[in-house]
Amino acid sequence: MIQFIYMDFKQLNKRQELILALIGEQENSSVSEIILEMSVQFKDISRITIIRDLNYLIGLDFIERFGKGRAVVYKLSLKFNLLKPIDTDKYFKISPDKRKSRSKFNFDLLNNFKNIFNKDEKKYLADFLIKYKKNIKKISKDILKSEFERLTIELSWKSSSIEGNTYTLLETESLIRYGKKAKGHKKAEAEMILNHKIALDYIRKNFNSFKNISISKIEDIHCLLMKNLGIKLGLRKLPVGITGTIYRPLDNIYQIREALEFACKIVNKEKDVFSKALILILIISYIQPFNDGNKRTSRFSANAILMAYNICPLSYRSVDEGEYKKAMILFYEQNNLSYFKKIFIEQFEFATKNYFLV
């Protein structure tokens, strides 16, 4: 199993780790403040050593320097906040209202999705992709059809379950394969699941068109997922809240459109396909451009990109719904993708080990 730690973190010594912790606690710190705190932990440490450590951290793009002369202060960089490992158990023991977190949309975040997978992670994903492509070439059309149906069932079940749908996996299979609605469930739950199948069939039929993403293509996916659910389509014009967090997405339709357009440009410019998919799933969820169905739309839009490049889509079958939500909240509140990236990598590994096998 790969170590889900950004490779540059392995290069840090104890002094540098402490400097990052000190700056993080104060939001910004002067050299004198850092020296004072460091001297408590490291006796006889010199100013030159601390300056050298600070410059090293600047070189890694983990911290930024502002001001001149005695007014110089250091702050954690957006890259560091984006990728640093976070103890999720410790983080979520604190109630939403007491956590030190962002409550507003961070426009600067959109410019910092660079090198989000390290070399080890890229190789890890590439190795499973190679195995998947070898398998896909060997299986017959009938098996391919059968396997895609199985993936569709399991994705439809888990994606719906994340949104609170109470259908079981077996009930979902019966609904999709035989059109049999389970007793004791709301009609909307069956509609939600069937919409997943419709959306995935649409993506599969038009997979080449998703090599480049656009607002209209995202809206098409959203429209299919929301069919017959009574959800107003198009970009939202009213504010939305998210359960379990103080984060509030943009509430201005013009800013929503602007942010989504910029996100599409970032995704289209990115060369690494896995990065494209991960960025899109996070940003759609972060912007919350629609009145409902944002996370569903983000998962399917990301899968559309993977399928456009002949990469196995994710079913999320083995993911824990609670952990998925925690990873997303962590991104909302801390603009940190480390936990969701871990889930993404694990789910790609799961998909290639469980579908389209020879």
User: Of 149, 198, 193, 194, nearest to 167 (Cα)?
Assistant: 193
Task: Tell me which residue has tokens 């996370």.
Answer: 295
Binding-site residue set: 292-299
* Pairwise CA distance, residues 280 & 302, whole Å: 6
- Cα–Cα separations (whole angstroms), residue 34 to 30, 37, 64, 81: 6, 5, 14, 19
Phi, psi (degrees; rounded to nearest 5) at 75? -130, 155
What amino acid is encoded at 205 in this protein?
A: K
Burial 172-190 (b: 16+ CB within 10 A, else e): bbbbbeeeebbeebeeebb
Binding-site residue set for ATP: 292-299
- Cα–Cα separations (whole angstroms), residue 177 to 119, 160, 194, 291, 339: 41, 17, 10, 30, 34
Q: What is the dihedral of CA 296, 204, 338, 122, to 10 degrees?
A: 180
Residues 6+ apart with CB under 8 A from 310: 133, 136
